Amino acid sequence: MASAPLPLAATAIKFGTDGWRGILGVDITVERLLTVAAASAQELAHRAAAGNTSNTVVIGYDRRFLAPELAEAIAAAVRGCGLQPLLASTPVPTPACSWAVVERQALGALVITASHNPPEWLGLKIKGPFGGSVEGDFTAAVEQRLAAAGVTPPIEGETERFDARLEHLNGLRSKLDLDGLRRGLEAMGLQVIVDPMHGSAAGCMAELLGGISGPVREIRSDRDPLFGGNPPEPLAPYLQELITAVKAAGSSGQPAVGLVFDGDGDRIAAVDESGTFCSTQQLMPLLIDHLARARQLPGSVVKTVSGSDLMRLVAEDLGREVLELPVGFKYIASEMLEGEVLIGGEESGGVGFGMHLPERDALFAALLVLEALVEGGQPLGARVSALQQRCGGSSHYDRVDLRLPDMATRHRLEQLLAQQPPREIAGSVVQEVITTDGVKLRLGPSHWLMLRFSGTEPLLRLYCEAPNAERVAEVLSWAQALATSI
């Protein structure tokens, strides 16, 4: 499958916020992937810390169409750089590759995955030696290598394989009391229904918590490269089967909690005992409370500007410093590498922990969510409601992605927001304008609207938190009307 690199004219490749992704067979081809993998491996070797004598690059892949074959192909590209590829023997959650990098002191990892993107997409994530995603200066250097056409040709050969999945699960077992957690769930009578969305985290929670005899039941755990026809993203519209299963369990007299992971197992969401979808806007406050109050672990709380106010309220109630950063887990990971962080998370499902990796790991987050429920002796919805009452925050939140007609419309709207931001929104006076990332307009306690543009597309993301669901819908409707009037 390996072949020579593409000529210079065909290598106009740009990295996004977490890797390089595109449509398989159009943007992502074998030839292009080989050149990108080689340039990435070269940069990993170039940036190796003094004293690091490793020449190993971990290679992983998810369950998407052609992902295993393309992972095997890029092993040849790594060999062509004079480095040693170490290939996962099965599809794995992306955090398993980060775990392997740290445990083996490897140069880094290359992961064939398109994460939560639609089924026709594929891509490549790059993990640094610290066990998290590389930053923008790294990917810019990779792009420069591609532009310079200095990438080495691939070399065929036998590739060493290893059980990355088992190593990751054993790592999680070493950090948590899973026997105690299982007993606690059984004592509560709480069933755990897991939806891995046909992705690479399938089977992991059941294995961690006792297999078929344990409290875990999985749905949609088979490999389906089409992901049932929807993107493998943990959002409510794609989770009707899980919501139905959780409601059915409650109706039969056994309360349940639903846990869902995205296609490569680094994002998490949940469904509470009533069948209500819970994003990290609700899970983060629960985890902050559990880690800071019950576990009494040290460190600050890091949230993105689009995160719920309830995160800040719970953290400050427990005397923890809160840092608010632009959207993107790379900013959180950078803070985790520099300071003492208890937990860091973003509204889209990525959560990292100072006691673990500077990386999103949905399995680790899921186990801690269950641990928090057992510690509090209440199911998820009741726990979140209690936190709201204690700290006076809201968890009513929604996001709408609005595609604009063209880039000219986007630029006009950007200028309007920069020069004349709204003074009133749907009957509420704007109290504060925050420009950390996009434009966030605060309307009151736990009440705000945020408008943020995609990096490269005429796409506007609208975020809103409000005291009730009706107000969220009203404000988002107002924002859409504003955007379409430009």
CB distance 346 to 332 below 8 Å: yes
Which part of the chain has CATH 3.40.120.10? 8-163, 176-391
The reported pLDDT for the residue numbered 86 is: 98
The fold of the 396-484 domain, in CATH, is: TATA-Binding Protein (3.30.310)
Report pLDDT for 315. Answer: 97
Residue 51 is predicted with a pLDDT of 82
pLDDT of residue 456: 66
pLDDT at 118: 94
Q: How is domain 176-391 classified at the architecture level of CATH?
A: 3-Layer(aba) Sandwich (3.40)
Give the C-alpha separation, 145 to 41, whole Å: 11
Domain 8-163 falls in which CATH fold? Alpha-D-Glucose-1,6-Bisphosphate; Chain A, domain 3 (3.40.120)
CATH 3.30.310.50 spans which residues of the chain? 396-484
Q: Pick from 342, 220, 203, 213: which is nearest to 284 by CA?
A: 342
What is the pLDDT, as a whole number, of residue 1? 42
> Residue ranges of the chain with pLDDT lower than 70?
1-11, 211-213, 455-456
Please tell me whether residue 325 adopts helix, strand or coil conformation.
Answer: strand
| The pLDDT value given to residue 149 | 85
pLDDT of residue 213: 64
CB of 222 within 8 A of CB of 202?
A: yes
Helix axes 380-391 and 309-317, enclosed angle (nearest 10): 70
Q: What is the predicted pLDDT for the residue at 107?
A: 98
Which pLDDT score, from 0 to 100, does residue 212 have? 58
